[in-house]
Structure 1
Amino acid sequence: MNELAAPRAAERAARESYGRLLAILSARTHDIAASENALAQAFARALERWPADGIPEQPDAWLLSVARHRKLDAWRHSRIQDAAAQALLLLAGEVDVGTVDGTAVPDERLRLLFVCAHPAIDATARAPLMLQVVLGLDAARMAGAFLTSPSTLGQRLVRAKARIRSAGISFEYPEARELPLRLQDVLQGIHAAYGNGWDDVDGADTLPRGLAAEAIELGRTLCALMPNEPEPLGLLALMLFCQSRAGARLNDAGAYVPLDQQDTARWDPDLLAQAEQHLRQASSRNISGACQLEAAIQSAHCERRVGAPVAPEAMVALYDNLLALRPSLGAQVSRACALAKARGHDVGLQALDAIAAGEVASYQPFWAARGHLLSAGGARAAARQAFDRAIGLSTSAAVRAYLNGTSERL
């Protein structure tokens, strides 16, 4: 057997089945942390045994069996005899190969997303908890997206998992009337998963290859689960617009290319068409939402491919509407850039200066935008200082190189 076949099979299982396996392991005991440890041990065992024994016919079932027995061993070793332990013993006899063949359970990842969106869990922990327990991301990769440090985020996640266990939160789908109440958190989690799939992050794990595609798949599944809700369609459209441009973000030499300089011939026309279709379908519901507005903004950016860019003032209006529905630091910075294009760099800088300094101290897009607007106004020394700050905060080597080159040209 090819020496790389076993590691590749384990990586594929982690990418495609991690959340589903974790949901099955956690369903009875509600102990996500213990299930994560057991699953990690199962993957480590796979990397030991599969090269010698061969890749099992059903890798998911093999991993589940090993992880389940690791959990049983841990419970027996601790000599804890309570209802959760008894439930785990029952689980050992209930879960069979049929549970992980993809038919008995429709999509355990999506089920677990709704578990993580339970109102008993702290709101600031819900989206990062989804990324960790469903997609296997570590705190180092996620921290920047949630504007916090890895240590702070790690503590938040530990508390959230403890809350799930102590509160006995059900691992079933919420009732139909409860789904919309948890929907916004699930949308945020999937959106954050997509964003984390874009770049390599210094010091983070290497698991999320193909994470953007997995987030899109979860978006499609969510649309099927809630076909009458417009916001899942808006999120799916948003991700597809961005994904259509993935092939143009780096040139042939691997250098970063900003959106307004990308070769539109490298954009994927099929994904663009799907995105426009989903956005139209969402708009037909006549219920405005933040995801739909973000998708509309991306659609406007993509109009450049047919030589019909959206008027700058129209882009400002889109951001105004987005901020009215869902204020965010990213939308404020993007609005400032839109204002600069519509009314001049001074107006854009004023909008950036209006943002509280404490909120942007560690926010890389703010400093990159500030550098560009200062350089447009001829303030080269101040622009270089802003670019240096942005370079220090960037987690992507390609983006750092681009910003460094821009700064040096000043």
Structure 2
Amino acid sequence: MADGSGENPAHQAAERAARQAYGRILSILAARCGDIAVAEEALAEAFARALSNWPKSEPPDQPEAWLLTTARRYLADQARKSATARTHAGALLLLIEEGQSVMTETNDIPDDRLKLMLVCTHPEIDPALQTPLMLQTVLGLDAARIASAFLVKPATMGQRLSRLKARLRKSPIAFEIPAPGAWPQRLDAVLQGIYAAYNAGWDELSDTGLADEALFLARLASRLLPYETEAAGLLSLILHCEARRGARRDAAGTFVPLDEQDTALWDTDRIAEAETLLGTALRMGRPGRFQFEAALQSAHNARHITGTTDWAAIRAIYERLVAISPTLGALIGRAAAMAQTGDPQSALAALSALPENRIIAHQPYWATRAHVLKLAGDTDAAREAYGRAAGLTADPSVRAYLLARRAAL
């Protein structure tokens, strides 16, 4: 029986399984069959069968185990039918059957997603598509959400991923986990994927699943590579941001910007952990993008101790950051810091210098530009920029906040 939302319980169970275990199941299948594209095909078939079979009865008690078993059986069937796989069918079937009884009796599915992310950094995969491929295969994001993270049209991202997967099917990249000695060379792409996943889950206030997944993967990367300073930097960055999650909305669900948040609501245990990680990483003397990003959040979170925000320090950190990683977010953030330190004209010049094709539909740009214009005293332009920023957000609470700022001018 459907709940008040009108959705079928079987569909809801499938959606939860996709959100919570897609990457874990896919990584197991890919490790067993040795081919990411084939594993995706098997898992897609398992979901299709779930949507067909589950509505006819109650969803299984353990949807993830059901999906894994169904996908394994599909792989076995395909191996039996495939002439090219005939010589490997015996070994493949043994791998598929390995632990199958355990997997149908428990929901304790092992987590090999970090391994799958390393596989996605194979040298034959275009570096520009490695992170999008991770987001789709490891975390199950659709092309629209991935496109939003990379500031491209959903159709464009969908075409790029489709072409890549078509090529992989013709020349399959084996599920070969690089030796630990090669991990540092592939680490940057993996960290970029985890960070992109966290950004995609940043606004999931009612369901923090994707942000939690990114935090888990960041912890795993840091634990497996304890001497890699950027892994520690990324974990510190995510912890600093997650420490403020409980303060980003008030009791009525209204959006609260960072500078207005009640610091008593911040998670000081997470801040302390983040500070320890960042301090250890910086002492190793190999600074990088994620350490500077974490340092920025550390400077913001210091307000829970000092009561004020040290914008001069934040601007200095941004200067270091853009020198090594001039991402759009970093350049916009630096402009905001310029304005906050009494230099709104330089901030406007910096914002105006950004490529139009990258900022035309980028909501954070217009929200920042509106604030800078307000500080510069250009009320009419600020009002217009607030309107554009409000029109580019899908969050009703953020839209209401921006429109209130415009109305107050």
TM-score by length of 1: 0.87
Q: Which residue of 2 aligns with 1:304?
A: 303
State the Cα distance separating 1:55 from its structure 2 match: 2.9
> What CA distance in whole angstroms lies between the structure 1 residues aligned with 2:228 and 2:403?
44
Q: Is the 8 A contact 1:222 1:232 kept in 2?
A: yes
Q: Which residue of 1 aligns with 2:54?
A: 49
Within 5 Å, give how 1:197-276 maps onto structure 2: 197-199=201-203, 209-276=208-275
Q: Determine which structure has greater relative contact order: mean sequence separation of CA pairs < 8 Å that are 6+ residues apart, divided by chain length.
A: 1
State the Cα distance separating 1:346 from its structure 2 match: 1.9
> What CA distance in whole angstroms lies between the structure 2 residues aligned with 1:390 and 1:309?
27
Q: Which residue of 1 aligns with 2:316?
A: 317
Q: In structure 2, do the counterparts of structure 1 residues 399 and 188 end up closer, same or farther at CA, with 3 Å as the change threshold?
A: same
What code does the residue aligned with 2:46 have? Answer: A
Q: Is the 8 A contact 1:23 1:112 kept in 2?
A: yes
Secondary structure of 2:164's aligned partner: helix
Q: Does 1:35 align with 2:36?
A: no
Within 5 Å, give how 1:143-154 maps onto structure 2: 143-154=147-158
State the Cα distance separating 1:336 from its structure 2 match: 0.4
Two-structure CA RMSD over aligned residues (Å): 3.0
What code does the residue aligned with 1:395 have? Answer: A
> What CA distance in whole angstroms lies between the structure 2 residues aligned with 1:9 and 1:209?
17
What code does the residue aligned with 2:301 have? Answer: C
Secondary structure of 2:341's aligned partner: helix
What code does the residue aligned with 2:230 have? Answer: E
- Of the structure 1 ranges 321-330 and 387-396, higher mean CA displacement relative to structure 2 is found in 387-396
Q: Which residue of 2 aligns with 1:335?
A: 334
Give CA deviations for 1:185-219 in whole Å, capped at 9, x if unaligned. 10000001111112259xxxx9x751101110011
State the Cα distance separating 1:75 from its structure 2 match: 7.4
Q: In structure 2, do the counterparts of structure 1 residues 2 and 336 end up closer, same or farther at CA, with 3 Å as the change threshold?
A: closer
State the Cα distance separating 1:82 from its structure 2 match: 2.0
Give CA deviations for 1:117-166 in whole Å, capped at 9, x if unaligned. 12211111111111111111111122111010111111111223234444
> What CA distance in whole angstroms lies between the structure 2 residues aligned with 1:283 and 1:393?
37
- Of the structure 1 ranges 17-26 and 117-126, higher mean CA displacement relative to structure 2 is found in 17-26
> What CA distance in whole angstroms lies between the structure 1 residues aligned with 2:109 and 2:184?
22
Q: Is the 8 A contact 1:61 1:96 kept in 2?
A: no
> What CA distance in whole angstroms lies between the structure 2 residues aligned with 1:86 and 1:386?
64
Q: Which residue of 1 aligns with 2:400?
A: 401
Q: In structure 2, do the counterparts of structure 1 residues 44 and 401 end up closer, same or farther at CA, with 3 Å as the change threshold?
A: farther
What code does the residue aligned with 1:272 have? Answer: I
> What CA distance in whole angstroms lies between the structure 2 residues aligned with 1:104 and 1:7?
22
Q: Which residue of 2 aligns with 1:291?
A: 290
Which stretches in structure 1 are left out of the alignment for 5+ residues?
none
Q: In structure 2, do the counterparts of structure 1 residues 81 and 97 end up closer, same or farther at CA, with 3 Å as the change threshold?
A: closer
Q: Is the 8 A contact 1:31 1:162 kept in 2?
A: no
Q: Which residue of 2 aligns with 1:94?
A: 95
> What CA distance in whole angstroms lies between the structure 2 residues aligned with 1:169 and 1:366?
39
Q: In structure 2, do the counterparts of structure 1 residues 406 and 310 end up closer, same or farther at CA, with 3 Å as the change threshold?
A: closer
> What CA distance in whole angstroms lies between the structure 2 residues aligned with 1:167 and 1:225?
31
Identity of counterpart residues, as a percentage?
47
Q: Is the 8 A contact 2:233 2:290 kept in 1?
A: yes
Q: In structure 2, do the counterparts of structure 1 residues 150 and 387 end up closer, same or farther at CA, with 3 Å as the change threshold?
A: same
Q: In structure 2, do the counterparts of structure 1 residues 384 and 22 end up closer, same or farther at CA, with 3 Å as the change threshold?
A: same
Q: Which residue of 1 aligns with 2:84?
A: 82
What code does the residue aligned with 2:44 have? Answer: A
TM-score by length of 2: 0.88
Number of residues of Structure 1 aligned to a counterpart in Structure 2: 401
Q: Is the 8 A contact 2:17 2:63 kept in 1?
A: yes
What code does the residue aligned with 1:81 have? Answer: A
Q: Is the 8 A contact 1:191 1:215 kept in 2?
A: yes
What code does the residue aligned with 1:234 have? Answer: G
Secondary structure of 2:177's aligned partner: coil
Q: Is the 8 A contact 1:143 1:149 kept in 2?
A: yes
What code does the residue aligned with 1:93 have? Answer: L
> What CA distance in whole angstroms lies between the structure 2 residues aligned with 1:8 and 1:400?
29
> What CA distance in whole angstroms lies between the structure 2 residues aligned with 1:355 and 1:194?
25
Which stretches in structure 2 are left out of the alignment for 5+ residues?
none
Q: Which residue of 2 aligns with 1:161?
A: 165
Q: Which of 63, 67, 90 is the matching residue for 1:63?
A: 67
State the Cα distance separating 1:88 from its structure 2 match: 6.2
State the Cα distance separating 1:108 from its structure 2 match: 1.3
Q: In structure 2, do the counterparts of structure 1 residues 376 and 160 end up closer, same or farther at CA, with 3 Å as the change threshold?
A: same
Q: Which of 123, 140, 143 is the matching residue for 1:139?
A: 143
Q: Is the 8 A contact 2:278 2:295 kept in 1?
A: yes
What code does the residue aligned with 2:325 have? Answer: R
- Of the structure 1 ranges 356-365 and 236-245, higher mean CA displacement relative to structure 2 is found in 356-365
Secondary structure of 1:135's aligned partner: coil
Q: Which of 115, 122, 143 is the matching residue for 1:118?
A: 122
> What CA distance in whole angstroms lies between the structure 2 residues aligned with 1:245 and 1:88?
51
What code does the residue aligned with 1:91 have? Answer: L
